[in-house]
Amino acid sequence: MIQFRNLLFLFLLIGSACSSSKWVVENQYEIDRNDFELISSDQFLSRVGNVSPQNPVIQFEIKSANTFEYTQRVRTDRYIQRYRPSFKSVLLGLGGASLAAGAAILIDQPKASQQALLGTAGLISLTSFLNMNPTGDPTPTGEIRLLRRTGSVTETDTVSATPDVSTDVSYTMYHDGEIVAVGDDLEYRNGRFTINLLESFNPEESEYETDDVITVEVYFNDDIYVNTVPIVSFLEQFVVIDTEVTALRDEPILESRTILTDLAFGSQLRFVEETDLWYKVLYGISETYVAKSDAYLIWRPTEFASQLSIITVPNIPFGNIDVESDIPTLVEQNDRSYGFILANREYQGELSERNFAERDAQLISAYLENALSFRNDNLRTVTNIENQQQLVLAYNRLANDMRGTQKRLVIYISGYVTSGDDGEMLLMGTGGSTSSEINLNSFFSGISRLPVQELVILLDIDNVDTEYSELIEPLANQILENNASSAIIVSSSETQRSRNYSSSTGEQKRHSIFSYYIADAIKNGATTISGIVNHLQRNVDYTSRRLHNQPQHILFFGDSGISLID
């Protein structure tokens, strides 16, 4: 019986929960989106997308900035709150009711008093259940009421728009402060105004640096929109060969073993990166190298890569060029003749490599030995010397070999020259610094005092100091003062280039024009200085103009009656 009463009590306690709703003020300044007024609407351009070499366009969409005035009101939200009777109140109430009921039953008293006590007990029990506490958080119902107006607020909303019939969009493009393109009345297509940079901007009209930018001013609704576009964002770099021939290498090293092939003037390759001395380029899919001194960079669209012009010069072994083969023997013995050959090829930095210098040295040596019968022991060849000390050592070995008076000495020198402080001619060593300059006036001062009856000097040189044009004649006069039986033949004047017998049209003799025609003269039987000079005068300048459209006049000083054979 007691357990039943306890369960009944617990059931009454749980089952007596109830709930109620209420409205709560959430915001005194809630925006009423349904109560508004459009104040203004302004259209403007918004740039979209990114510029890339594959997508070289600037694009704009029209946006509209709409400004509205909204009413603000008091906002109230409705919530549901659940309640449960207080456990303590119920216990106390039931306890008081029990006392009242017990008194009514156990104590002898009038019936009216008993009924009053029993009524009181029931009232106390009922009251204890009505004393409830909230349980849990209020649950929102989602019902909202906007009440009285408390103010107003303006907001601007940006949305996509379409141009009016009268809308006119134009632009001006600048580079380095100068106008390079102007466009009027841009066409609106696919929801955008588009400026194709490659149609408006011609990268061939100027040279550019990596950090250069194009400025595009776009005009719309009396507003100017300034856009800066880096060159690197829509163009790519390519390397163009600007020497007659340059070596393409698989390593950035000036050695013959690294040469893959030779490239002719105008060849174009895709640029990868650069160092102090080299451009890394793509040759097919291989990363290769060309000397920076032999090439320059251009900016072009990506599709330029599909039409690259790569002109390779065949690597023809020595002996396969016409003057290298079938060398005639013009004299049987020439024991008292000596030859000294110096050729610098491996220049670097700002100086282009002299690609055929060593082959020229080999050609001159072959003609001295085979056509003119110089003894092999009497020929000295040095290549790629870096400084004066190396030349002095080579000179000392030559001087030690020449014991007693000899008939003749033929000297051939190929390289770059410049002027010294006192106007002397300096041969540029391959070391690439001022300490590698070699004083030729000093060298020939010693040469012209060697015990030889005749001295023949062949200079295949390029003057890099083009502002100084008085190098050759003072040197020639110095030599002639020391040995009147001397002949000095120079490949070109100080203001001209000694060019290669090589062209992009197919003629590839793989020698300098000067050296080629020296060998050609001897092969055709010219053994006197006058015969060789006449052959050079007839052919060198003509060939240079024909192949390169540039003059090349040989210079001659001294005794034209000297013969190269006894």
Pick the CATH number of 322-558 from 1.20.1050.10, 3.40.190.10, 3.40.50.1460, 3.40.50.2020: 3.40.50.1460
Give pLDDT tens digits for 440-465. Answer: 999 999 998 899 999 999 999 999 88
Q: How confident is the model at residue 89 (pLDDT cuts 50, 70, 90)?
A: low
Interval 56-82 mean pLDDT: 89
Torsion sign (Cα): 466, 468, 471, 472: positive
Cβ count within 10 A of residue 510: 24
Is the pLDDT higher at 194 or at 92? Answer: 194
561 SS3 class: coil
Helix (H) or strand (E) segment spanning residue 555: strand 555-558
* Amino acid 282: pLDDT: 95
Please give the structure tokens belonging to residue 341.
Answer: 């050959």
Rounded Cα distance between 181 and 129, Å, is 89
Rounded Cα distance between 169 and 186, Å, is 5
Q: Is the pLDDT of residue 102 over 90?
A: no
Q: Is the pLDDT of residue 326 over 70?
A: yes
- Average per-residue pLDDT in the chain? 87
Cβ count within 10 A of residue 400: 8
Is the pLDDT higher at 338 or at 99? Answer: 338
Interval 344-367 mean pLDDT: 92
For the chain, counts of helices (H) and of strands (E)? 10, 27
* Amino acid 423: pLDDT: 86
Pick the CATH number of 236-313 from 3.30.70.1710, 3.40.50.300, 2.30.30.40, 3.30.590.10: 2.30.30.40
The per-residue DSSP string of 43-54 comes to EEEEEES--BTT
End-to-end CA distance of the chain: give it in Å, rounded. 154
| Whether the Cβ atoms of residue 245 and residue 253 lie closer than 8 Å to each other | no
Torsion sign (Cα): 505, 510, 512, 516: negative
Q: How confident is the model at residue 256 (pLDDT cuts 50, 70, 90)?
A: confident
Rounded Cα distance between 468 and 475, Å, is 14
Helix (H) or strand (E) segment spanning residue 531: helix 529-548
Write out the residue limits of the CATH 3.40.50.1460 domain(s) in the chain: 322-558
472 SS3 class: helix
| Whether the Cβ atoms of residue 393 and residue 340 lie closer than 8 Å to each other | no
146 SS3 class: strand
Please give the structure tokens belonging to residue 232.
Answer: 């690197």
Q: Is the pLDDT of residue 137 over 90?
A: no
Q: What is the CA radius of gyration of the chain?
A: 51
Q: Is the pLDDT of residue 225 over 80?
A: yes
Q: Is the pLDDT of residue 205 over 80?
A: no
* Amino acid 4: pLDDT: 43
CA 510-516-518 angle, to 5 degrees, is 160
Q: Is the pLDDT of residue 281 over 80?
A: yes
Give pLDDT tens digits for 517-553. Answer: 999 999 999 999 999 999 999 999 999 999 999 999 9
Give pLDDT tens digits for 401-422. Answer: 888 888 999 999 999 999 988 8
Interval 322-334 mean pLDDT: 93
| φ, ψ dihedrals at 72, nearest 5° | -105, 140
b/e per residue 166-176 (b: at least 16 CB within 10 A): eeebebbbbbe
* Amino acid 8: pLDDT: 46
Q: Is the pLDDT of residue 3 over 50?
A: no
Percent of all residues in the chain with a pLDDT value above 70, rounded to a whole number = 87
* Amino acid 11: pLDDT: 47
* Amino acid 163: pLDDT: 83
Q: Is the pLDDT of residue 214 over 50?
A: yes
Give pLDDT tens digits for 160-178. Answer: 888 877 788 999 999 888 8
Strand 236-241 with 268-274, pairing: antiparallel
Is the pLDDT higher at 521 or at 83? Answer: 521
Q: Which amino acid is at 358?
A: E
Map tokens 């901007």 to a residue.
201
Please give the structure tokens belonging to residue 428.
Answer: 């540029």
Write out the residue limits of the CATH 2.30.30.40 domain(s) in the chain: 236-313
Give pLDDT tens digits for 358-394. Answer: 999 999 999 999 999 999 999 999 999 999 999 999 9
Give pLDDT tens digits for 105-130. Answer: 666 667 666 666 666 766 666 666 66
CA atoms within 13 A on the CB side of 370: 15
* Amino acid 496: pLDDT: 92
Q: Is the pLDDT of residue 93 over 90?
A: no
